[in-house]
A = this chain, B = another copy of it.
Amino acid sequence: MGWDFASDNVRGACPEVARALAELAGGAAPYGADELTARLETRLAELFEHPVAALPVATGTAANALAVAAFTPPHGSVYCHHEAHILRDEAGACEFFAGGARLIGLPGENAKLTPETLDTHLDRCAAGNVHRVRPRLVSITQSTELGTLYTPGEVAAIGAWCQANGLALHMDGARFANAVAALGVSPAELTWKAGVDVLSLGGTKNGAWAAEALVLFDPERAEATAIRRKRGGHLLSKGRFLAAQLLALFEDGTWLANGRHANTQATRLAEGLLTLPGVRPITPTQANEVFLHLPEPLRQGLNEAGFGFTPWGDAGPDAIRLVTA
């Protein structure tokens, strides 16, 4: 037996989620209009201190693709970091849901975008030009794909840039709980107060079996997205199954406790490994992911000891990722 740090997807469900589902199994509720889903929306509005429409789905890819499609027409484009999950790891789901829109990957240290980068790459010739795809959305990931964080100020700067340039702002929050726990700020400060229009709020990496919420800070957009969700096959007939998992996490502080726990583990793991000879960080460990260069003998040793991790070839042959949950 060893430790598996390959992903925060490897775990099953946390006790709170398992308990909630067990309690719910015997009951009954109508298709698509259950009380738990309504309660989830109310709860998230409270948590975010803002009216929201919350549409639960079973995967992060679904949440992201629906979020992108909600703000990007087929002839639109989306700016994201070239490490973005939506660009690299979702098989073109955003393009599919948005009817052939374009994702544009941009550079940036620590997997983060900045207003300067966006400003450099914005296609200013697109306005009113039928020959160009139209910039419509910026998508950032919090915490990022390389385990780093945007400060509220950094998000707000991007939000301001978006507003100034007529683009909407999406946050892929598959690890939003880790970000909030690490930054010690309110969900509101990291999202709508900083200009975020739509959030993919992660549950699966936080302890759910399969539950994410698409959170729209403009509830008026819910209807179009609800149609797209059904059309995408993402409306569960037993919708309360999703809502129950999310409520188990977000109704009280479980989400934050889970996020904090994972962060602490990651910090310790990073600190421990960095004491070993030849180990160097790739990015600073700010949430629940650790990216390191590890000399070959050490990698082999960890492997033999039953340590699970993911090779991260993009950062070199000796690079690995470890994720805690």
- Give the docked Cα–Cα distance between A289 and B150 (Å): 45
Which residue on B lies nearest to A229, using beta carbons? B130
Shortest CB-to-CB span from A134 to chain B, Å, is: 8
The stretch among A137-145, A159-167, A235-243 that forms the contact with chain B is A235-243
Q: Which of B134, B205, B227, B234 is in CB contact (< 8 Å) with A233?
A: B234
The 0/1 profile, CB within 8 Å of B marked 1, for residues 291-325 of chain A is 00000000000000000100001000000000000
Let me know if B59 and A233 touch, CB within 8 A: yes
**Chain B residue contacts of A66, Cβ below 8 A:** 233
Shortest CB-to-CB span from A11 to chain B, Å, is: 5
Let me know if B12 and A30 touch, CB within 8 A: no
Let me know if B59 and A75 touch, CB within 8 A: no
The stretch among A98-106, A183-191, A263-271, A273-281 that forms the contact with chain B is A98-106
Let me know if A75 and B231 touch, CB within 8 A: yes
Q: How many copies of this chain does the complex contain?
A: 4
**Chain B residue contacts of A57, Cβ below 8 A:** 233
Shortest CB-to-CB span from A303 to chain B, Å, is: 14
**Chain B residue contacts of A26, Cβ below 8 A:** 12, 18
Count of A residues near B, CB < 8 Å?
A: 76
Tell me, yes or no, whether A251 is within 8 Å of chain B by CB: no
Given known A13-B25, A21-B21, contact A96–B100 (CB-CB < 8 A) = yes
**Chain B residue contacts of A229, Cβ below 8 A:** 130
- Give the docked Cα–Cα distance between A229 and B57 (Å): 15
Tell me, yes or no, whether A219 is within 8 Å of chain B by CB: no
The stretch among A45-53, A87-95, A253-261 that forms the contact with chain B is A87-95
**Chain B residue contacts of A60, Cβ below 8 A:** 237
Shortest CB-to-CB span from A90 to chain B, Å, is: 7
What are 21 A-B contacts defined by CB distance under 8 Å?
A: A9-B238, A13-B25, A21-B21, A21-B22, A22-B22, A62-B234, A74-B95, A75-B92, A75-B228, A75-B231, A90-B231, A91-B132, A91-B231, A93-B230, A95-B101, A96-B231, A96-B232, A98-B100, A102-B103, A205-B237, A210-B238
What 9 pairs across the A-B complex have the smallest Cβ distances? A62-B233, A9-B237, A18-B25, A61-B233, A95-B100, A130-B230, A91-B231, A13-B25, A91-B230
- Seen from chain A, the residues whose Cβ lies within 8 Å of a Cβ on chain B are 4, 6-7, 9-15, 17-18, 21-22, 24-32, 57-62, 64-66, 74-75, 88-93, 95-103, 125, 130-134, 204-205, 209-210, 226-238, 240-241, 308, 313
